[in-house]
Amino acid sequence: MDETFRGFLDRLRQAGELIDFRQPIDIRHIATLVDQSDKAIFFHKVIGYDIPVVSGIIRTRERAMMAMGASEYLEIEERLKNGIAKPIPPQRIATSPAREVVMKGDDVDLYKLPIPMSSIYDGGPMITAGVVIAKDPEFGINTGIYRFMVKEKNLTGIDIVTPNNMRLFVQRAYEAKRPLPISISIGTHPIELLGAGFKAPLGTDEMAIAGGIRGQAVKLAAGDTVDVPYIADAEIVLEGEVLPTGWTHPEGRFGEFTWLMGGLHWNPIVRITSVSMRRDAIYYALHMPWENTGLMAPTRYAAIRQALRTASVVVK
Ligand SMILES: Cc1cc2nc3c(=O)[nH]c(=O)nc-3n(C[C@H](O)[C@H](O)[C@H](O)COP(=O)(O)O)c2cc1C
């Protein structure tokens, strides 16, 4: 499947699963409208911002299935297992449309991005749909999705409280007193979200799994201010460094993936070194916590089924 993020939005629109909302909208009302809507919503005019927002695109199981070209929900897990069994390494390309507009150094300004709040008690606006690629000198590349709460025009937190490979990379960088370079690709096709959301063993390239799901290589382009690639099809790309501060900065609260309100977390700080985007970029606000379940549950099913099989338990 060679569908792009925009191609998927068009398909949703054609199927009557995406509404074009053309009235001016206050950013504080986006989450509530997405919440009340059984369709995805494309907000063309967010008051005070030049960039439109799309949200809710994989909010239902049906739309998660559509994204994967699946006719049944369990087929998503099959697609993922296929990607794991037959990974296709990413293809590196020189650059991409995500470089049409670039802010670097003092020009970096996250407040130019229309980043809505998701839950009423959230501690601040959170980047929720960023596919994060990080590079460790020994272990190489890791990809996952982690939330970033915006704190200053070039500073965010990164929510890595639970054990995952990204947390290990950040811990290792902290112990070596060096920053960890990362790229954050926002507005990627759900296939890349599915691959990134799978907790692959250390050293396994999750974008190769995404390539396996697609049946063709995911294209990655070279970072500019950091030596880490980003997803070439992305709408918006942030580059930055997780600073070696340790888990010392308060972040949150968060509406959690359990659909419960989480507590305050202590997390590292990220300094954003560049923001780049397409000239007509779309900001994808993944509506946490409700929008991550449909696509993420199959990543856990796949892992649990594998663990049970290893323990010789027959799963029905
Ligand atoms: C929309 C979305 C948001 C997520 N946010 C976080 C997060 O803030 N912190 C976290 O630890 N995991 C989060 N996850 C789960 C991780 O992305 C997932 O466990 C991933 O496989 C971890 O990869 P890694 O072990 O390779 O680092 C999120 C997943 C999704 C789909």
Q: Which two tokens stand for residue 134?
A: 């990080």
Stretch (H or E) spanning 149: strand 148-152
**Which has the closest alpha carbon to 208: 86, 78, 77, 88?**
88
The predicted model gives 219-226 an average pLDDT of: 97
Residue with the bigger pLDDT between 228 and 314: it is 228
Q: Is the CB of 145 under 6 A from ligand 1?
A: yes
pLDDT tens-digit series, residues 126-162: 999 999 999 999 999 999 999 999 999 999 999 998 8
Burial class (CB in 10 A: 0-12, 13-18, 19+), 219: middle
The Cα 216–Cα 193 span in angstroms is 16
Domain residues of the chain, as ranges? 73-285+297-310
Q: Is the CB of 169 under 6 A from ligand 1?
A: no
* Ligand 1 atom 23: residue of nearest CA: 144
The Cα 92–Cα 217 span in angstroms is 9
Q: Is the CB of 310 under 6 A from ligand 1?
A: no
Q: Say whether pLDDT at 10 is over 90.
A: yes
Distances (CA, A) of 312 to 105, 264, 301, 305: 55, 40, 16, 10
Task: Give the per-residue pLDDT at 306.
Answer: 84
Q: Say whether pLDDT at 63 is over 90.
A: yes
The predicted model gives 281-308 an average pLDDT of: 88
Name the residue of 122, 136, 139, 146 to mutate for ligand 1: max ligand atoms within 8 A of Cβ: 146
Q: Say whether pLDDT at 297 is over 90.
A: no
73-285+297-310 sits in which CATH class? mainly beta
**CA 22 – ligand 1 centroid, Å:** 32
Confidence grade of residue 272 (pLDDT, cut at 50, 70, 90): very high
**253 preceded by a cis bond (ω within 30 of 0):** yes
